[in-house]
Amino acid sequence: MSKVEIKVQFETITPLWTGDAWMGNNEIRPSSLIGSLRFWFEVICYFGGVCSAKDFDKEKGRFEKDIKNESIRKELLKHGTDFDGQISALKDLKIPIPAIVFGTTGLKSLIEIHGIRYLNDYCFGNKLNLPSKFCISKNGNKEVKENNECPNRSNNDWSVFYFKIPYFYGKFEVVFKVHNQIKDSIFFPLLTFMDKYGYWGGGWNIGYGRLKILSVYSQNGDWKEEGKFDFSKFVNFESVINNCIEKIQNLNSLKDKELKIEYWTKKFNSQPIKDILKELIKDKATLRKNASNQKQRHYIFGKTGNIQDEDLPQGSKIFPYINKLDNNSYECGLLSISGVLNLY
């Protein structure tokens, strides 16, 4: 399978954190970026009806199916070894499309990263001067405190949030190697989606990981326009993305577990990113406080520690959302993928 080189330049809207197992963050890890691409591709496939819950491996937390090389060889004898033949063979083996695109046991990914280059005016540190801790009162007046004034963890009086420091802030370039047959049909549309809605790295619960694409260069020249998903090589499906994104007018409706990427925006005056993030976290804390019961809160907003009789996926499903517009202004709010909880 032939691959083409595609160089993508990004700049951070909010901090990028791709920390390792020791919580270090002195480089951008390729595996974290690919993992983010796969996650959002899976969300789109599920919400768009391309994958179903039966394709989901709960233990691995992704759409996956292990296959043996012998099984692949038998199918290739029937379908041929060119790209279309390989895709047909994998479909006959009931391999979910995310596993076909991003790889599984015995199958290499069609999208890889072959290099990351940091550009001018970048840093690993705390360029936005974020507090290490940020806490919000639960008594209804939205009082906030920072750093040593906060308790170490949330309690009956305060909701505590930790900003991951150091983080990357600035511009960087990623060299992708992408199979030529999915470059236009999947990779570019996926980048378009990530540019407006997706998150990279970790720390999404505090709004980290929003990146703006500055330019995309491939052997065919620059690309900088919105595209559509075209799964013609995989399924007979004309448009997936537009069917699974919905702008919500009422903030409280973000708690619904619909198979939609729901987002809500509010107006901000000209404010620093640090202040916008803190304001959006306050909105999120208000939503959490108003959740009707403990299990609902833990489902949608995540939980820490082991809670009896609750076997739930970790992590919040509602994120602070900041999108940089072309005129250097921002649309800001919250984004929800609580529909993924239907998989569990």
What's the mean per-residue pLDDT of the chain?
Answer: 83
DSSP 191-249: HHHHHHT---SB-GGGTTT-EEEEEEEETTEEE-S------TTTSS-S-SGGGGEEE-S
- Main-chain phi, psi angles of 290, to 5 degrees: -85, -5
Interval 24-65: pLDDT, tens:
778 999 999 999 999 999 999 999 888 889 889 888 888 987
Predicted confidence at residue 203, as pLDDT, reads 93
Say if residue 306's pLDDT is above 60: no
Residue whose C-alpha is closest to residue 262's, from 205, 186, 175, 333: 333
Say if residue 311's pLDDT is above 70: no
Lowest model confidence (mean pLDDT) among 135-144, 184-193, 252-261: 252-261
* Segments making up each domain of the chain, as ranges: 1-126+165-241, 131-161, 248-344
Predicted confidence at residue 233, as pLDDT, reads 52
Mean pLDDT of 97-124: 88
Predicted confidence at residue 13, as pLDDT, reads 96
Which alpha helices (H) appear in the chain, and where do they start and end? 30-47, 69-79, 83-92, 97-102, 180-182, 188-196, 273-290, 294-301
Predicted confidence at residue 248, as pLDDT, reads 82
Say if residue 88's pLDDT is above 80: no
pLDDT band at 235 (very low <50, low <70, confident <90, very high): very low
Interval 173-218: pLDDT, tens:
999 999 988 888 888 888 888 999 999 999 999 999 999 999 888 8
Say if residue 228's pLDDT is above 90: no
pLDDT band at 314 (very low <50, low <70, confident <90, very high): low
Predicted confidence at residue 293, as pLDDT, reads 67
Contact 213, 34 (CB under 8 A): no
Residue type, 328: N
> Is pLDDT larger for residue 255 or for residue 325?
325
Mean pLDDT of 1-23: 86
pLDDT band at 94 (very low <50, low <70, confident <90, very high): confident
pLDDT band at 305 (very low <50, low <70, confident <90, very high): very low
Question: In angstroms, rounded to a whole number, what is the distance separating the alpha carbons of residues 236 and 218?
Answer: 27
Interval 150-165: pLDDT, tens:
999 888 888 899 999 9
